[in-house]
């Protein structure tokens, strides 16, 4: 089953006054399987956020179709169902906080969906437990660390019980500790609750932990496959201004220097083993 299906999508932002619009996609097609964990990479301005906004009908196609859980995002009658099915988490946790108490913040989404109060209580508690923030439920969100705030934002999304969550660079403003917390939370949601995850990121190490990596470049798909398949295409990544994870970059540099090392050893242990074998041989 497909969680998302993008068919020949074209999209341009309208121009203001006499300025021409900005064309982002001309003919993009992509499907995301239900329950999968897909990382989306690409340079600044290549259309990642624009695609994310197509997934919950914040933006609608100019041409082509976007289906979410089988629903056409251009079908106005489906808008509420679409917003319930696909949650969004953005880069800046401060912009996503709407209340002065953590549990009220998390309750905001389900309240807007018109869910009855007793059900909201249990949803909020469960969501906060899921992200490891239950003991902070009565705290003020603005006093939390970046990673904690982002986990509260994620709890607010889970409380709406979505089937999919699109994360648009959720760790970009966090320190390494916060990044680890948030990434771990995202993986748990995918693994334990079967939530389909689309993770837009600039961190290659985060993408390396996904099941599938999609690389966008100028509105097109430049690479698509398992992390090993995508990251071993180092020359292509460099050409479009990206890099592979440091492990692969190291082996690539050695290859360039004339030493044959594999380019598909993403984690440091595998990479270390390859280097050890090479030194010993
Ligand atoms: N609201 C907007 N109005 C006009 N152009 C926009 C708007 N948002 C984004 N763009 C342009 O659309 C292109 C894709 O942007 P975006 O999807 O934000 O890229 P990314 O998230 O990959 O950095 C860029 O050229 C950007 O300048
Ligand atoms: Mg963006």
**Residue in 209, 225, 279 with CA at minimum distance from that of residue 251:** 279
Q: Which atom of ligand 1 is nearest to the CA of 51?
A: 17
- Radius of gyration for the alpha carbons in the chain, expressed in angstroms and rounded: 20
- CA triplet 252, 254, 259: central angle to 5 degrees? 115
Query: Per the structure, how many domains does the chain have?
Result: 1
Structure confidence at residue 20 as a pLDDT band (50, 70, 90)? confident
Tens-place pLDDT, residues 25-67:
999 999 999 999 999 999 999 999 999 999 999 999 999 999 9
Residue 252 lies in a domain: no
Average pLDDT for the chain: 94
- Closest ligand 1 atom to Cα of 200: 21
**263 assigned to some structural domain:** no
Predicted confidence at residue 17, as pLDDT, reads: 86
pLDDT at 229 over 90: yes
Evaluate if residue 96 carries a pLDDT over 90. Answer: no
Work out the average pLDDT over 188-197.
96
Q: Ligand 1 centre from 51 Cα, in Å?
A: 10
Residue 125 CA to its chain's centroid (Å): 24
Domain contains 271 = no
Residue 18, pLDDT score: 85
pLDDT higher than threshold 90 for residue 225: yes
Dist. CA 196–CA 17, nearest whole Å: 40
Residues 6+ apart with CB under 8 A from 197: 36, 37, 38, 164, 165, 167, 186, 189, 190, 210
Q: Which residues line ligand 1 (CB under 6 A)?
A: 13, 22, 24, 42, 44-50
Displacement of CA 197 from its chain's centroid (Å): 6
Q: What percent of the chain has pLDDT over 90?
A: 88
* 131-165 pLDDT tens trace: 999 999 999 999 999 999 999 999 999 999 999 99
What is the model's pLDDT at position 118? 87
Q: Flag whether 257 is in a domain.
A: no
Residue 272 lies in a domain: no
Q: Counting atoms of ligand 1 from 1, which one is nearest the CA of 50?
A: 17
CA 98 vs CA 106, 112, 148, 150, 224: distances in Å: 9, 12, 15, 13, 37
Nearest Cα neighbor of 107 from 86, 124, 129 is 124
Q: Could you list the residue range(s) of the whole structural domain that residue 206 is in?
A: 2-244
The answer to whether position 261 is within a domain reads no
Q: pLDDT higher for 149 or 118?
A: 149
Give the CATH number, domain containing residue 56: 3.40.50.300
In a domain, 249, yes or no: no
Could you tell me the distance, in angstroms and rounded to a whole number, from the CA of residue 16 to the centre of ligand 1? 14
How far is the centre of ligand 2, averaged over its atoms, from the C-alpha of 19 (Å)? 22
> What pLDDT sits at residue 224?
98
- Which residue has a Cα nearest atom 16 of ligand 1? 47
Ligand whose nearest atom lies closest to the CA of 219: 1
- Asked if the structure places residue 275 within a domain, the reply is no
């Amino acid at each position: 089953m497909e969680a998302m299906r993008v068919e020949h999508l074209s999209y341009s932002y309208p121009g203001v006054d006499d300025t021409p619009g900005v064309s982002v996609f001309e003919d993009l097609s992509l499907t995301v399987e239900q329950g999968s964990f897909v990382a989306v990479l690409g340079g600044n301005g290549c259309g990642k956020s624009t695609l994310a906004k197509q997934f919950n009908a914040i933006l609608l196609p100019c041409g082509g179709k976007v289906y979410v859980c089988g629903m056409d995002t251009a079908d106005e009658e489906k808008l509420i169902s679409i917003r319930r099915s696909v949650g969004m988490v953005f880069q800046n946790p401060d912009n996503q906080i709407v209340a002065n108490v953590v549990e009220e913040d998390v309750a905001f989404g389900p309240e807007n969906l018109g869910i009855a109060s007793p059900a909201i209580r249990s949803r909020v508690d469960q969501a906060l437990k899921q992200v490891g923030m239950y003991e902070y439920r009565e705290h003020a969100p603005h006093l939390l660390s970046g990673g904690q705030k982002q986990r509260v934002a994620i709890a607010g999304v889970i409380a709406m019980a979505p089937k999919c969550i699109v994360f648009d660079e959720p760790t970009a403003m966090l320190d390494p500790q916060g990044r680890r917390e948030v990434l771990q939370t995202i993986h748990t949601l995918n693994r334990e609750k079967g939530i389909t995850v689309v993770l837009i990121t600039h961190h290659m190490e985060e993408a390396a932990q996904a099941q599938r990596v999609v690389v966008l470049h100028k509105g097109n798909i430049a690479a698509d496959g398992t992390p090993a398949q995508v990251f071993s295409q180092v020359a292509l990544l460099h050409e479009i201004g990206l890099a592979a994870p440091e492990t692969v970059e190291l082996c690539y540099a050695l290859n360039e220097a004339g030493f044959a090392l594999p380019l598909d050893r993403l984690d440091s242990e595998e990479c270390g083993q390859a280097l050890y074998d090479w030194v010993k041989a």
